[in-house]
Amino acid sequence: MAYKKTGTVTLKDIAAATGFSANTVSRALSDKPDISEETKEIIRKKAEEMGYIANALASFLRSGVSRNISIIVGDISNPHFSVMVKEMQMLLQKKGYNSIIFNTEEKPEMERQAVTVSISQNVDGIIICPTPGGEANIGLLRHYGKPFVLIGRRIKENPGDKKASYVICDDENSGYIATRCLLNKGHRRVLFLNGPKEISSAAERLAGYRRALKEAGVPYDGRLVHTVPVTAGRGAERMRRALSSEQDYTAVLAFSDILAWQAVCILEDLGKKVPQDCSVIGFDNIRFAYPQHLTTISSSKTTMAKKCVEILLKHLGGRKEGAERIVLETELIQGDTVKKKEEQE
């Protein structure tokens, strides 16, 4: 490689090395149709040899397009998010876009910073899993007219708001089929470790939980429903207090697989074996390197990621004016962490 010893390689440097004008070099590297393929190949080869890197800011000022997309999620350490982020990043890369990843720790102030930085960096669009209490951050995206798609969660919208596109799973039915599974196994006291009610998926899963109880003629007991942080590791003490409570329960329903496995560990530390003494169901269908397979609710993370990218690209290409809203079906995945109540006794 014939890199310059110091400094940035410019269009003038490539022009001097090839004998073409700087304007011809610029048009060739931009793949303009008025430059012959033979000339383009010569210039591209020399640019690569010299280590030329295009000036993204200059390109943006000329075209108004940065080819950058922000992906903003709550907890990148959670495989549920990391699987989707990887899939979206790969899909966007194939379409010629770069991805900028932000982790909010489910905190609206960190989400605000991610949104602000994204706008200041002139990203073309944003895929975002909204934090609880972060409605003003979505309002900021609307104010600046930045195309965005919600993933995994929806938000409350005011009557005058332009409807937002989203891809989510059927969370209400997810809560219903998970609870019904436990009820069908004879469990009547199901402790629910749920996320904050401001998270749409948490509110909708609670609604499904209550619907299944009502359908089975089991009274709803609010003492069995506990709100815990959904970021990995942050809610351990609160979960321990909930699981150590004097409430008589024989099964646990957790907001995510991460929380479900934390619950398994805490239960066993409290002297309760899973599923012999207590059954457990999670959400997300994440495979961990544990001896047991978790009974869980599955939605297609890759489908969710693919649909989000497709919708955002439609918005960027001007092929989608209104909102597109997709709700994916979910299913129960049978594992080793649920038994009939009689088998536990």
> How confident is the model over 1-45, as pLDDT tens digits?
454 555 688 889 999 999 999 999 989 988 889 999 999 999 999
Residue 274 predicted with pLDDT over 70:
yes
Q: What percent of the chain has pLDDT over 90?
A: 75
Mean pLDDT score across all residues of the chain = 90
Q: How far is CA 178 from the centre of its chain?
A: 22
Q: Please provide residue 335's backbone torsions phi and psi, each rounded to the nearest 5 degrees.
A: -125, -150
Q: How many residues does the chain have?
A: 345
Note whether 311 and 214 are within 8 A (CB): no
| Among the ranges given (24-33, 120-129, 173-182), the one the predictor scored with the smallest mean pLDDT | 24-33
* Residue 38 burial class via C-beta count within 10 angstroms: exposed 0-12, middle 13-18, buried 19 and up: exposed
What pLDDT, on a 0 to 100 scale, did the predictor assign at position 299? 84
pLDDT digits (tens, 9 = 90+) for 215-242: 999 999 999 999 999 987 777 899 999 9
Note whether 191 and 250 are within 8 A (CB): no
Helix, strand, coil proportions of the chain in percent (round to 5)?
A: 45, 15, 40
- Show the DSSP H helices in 95-170 as ranges: 108-120, 135-143
Q: Please provide residue 273's backbone torsions phi and psi, each rounded to the nearest 5 degrees.
A: -85, 145
Helix (H), strand (E) at residue 241:
helix 236-243
Angle of CA points 330, 267, 84, to nearest 5°: 30
Query: Strands 331-333, 295-298: parallel, antiparallel or unpaired by DSSP?
Result: antiparallel
Q: How far is CA 334 from CA 19, 88, 280, 298, in A?
A: 68, 28, 11, 10
Tokens of residue 141, six digits: 């995206």
Q: What's the rounded mean pLDDT across residues 287-305?
A: 85
Burial readout 147-159 (b: 16 or more C-beta within 10 A, e: otherwise): bbbbbbbbbeeee
Q: How far is CA 164 from CA 50, 112, 139, 153, 325, in A?
A: 45, 18, 11, 11, 8
Q: Please provide residue 206's backbone torsions phi and psi, each rounded to the nearest 5 degrees.
A: -65, -40
Say what the pTM is: 0.83
Note whether 97 and 125 are within 8 A (CB): no
What pLDDT, on a 0 to 100 scale, did the predictor assign at position 325? 96
What pLDDT, on a 0 to 100 scale, did the predictor assign at position 102? 97
pLDDT digits (tens, 9 = 90+) for 154-167: 998 888 788 999 99
Sheet holding 325-328, edge to edge: 98-103, 68-73, 125-128, 148-151, 165-169, 325-328
Helices (H) and strands (E) in the chain, counts: 13, 12
What pLDDT, on a 0 to 100 scale, did the predictor assign at position 57? 55
Q: Predicted confidence band at 137 (pLDDT cuts at 50, 70, 90)?
A: very high
What pLDDT, on a 0 to 100 scale, did the predictor assign at position 61? 52
Tokens of residue 85, six digits: 């982020």
Angle of CA points 79, 81, 233, to nearest 5°: 60
Which of residues 65 and 140 earns the better pLDDT score? 140
Query: Strands 331-333, 251-254: parallel, antiparallel or unpaired by DSSP?
Result: unpaired
Cα pseudo-dihedral 304, 197, 142, 139, rounded to 10: -160
Tokens of residue 156, six digits: 């409350």
CA-CA distance, 209 to 212, in Å (whole number)? 5
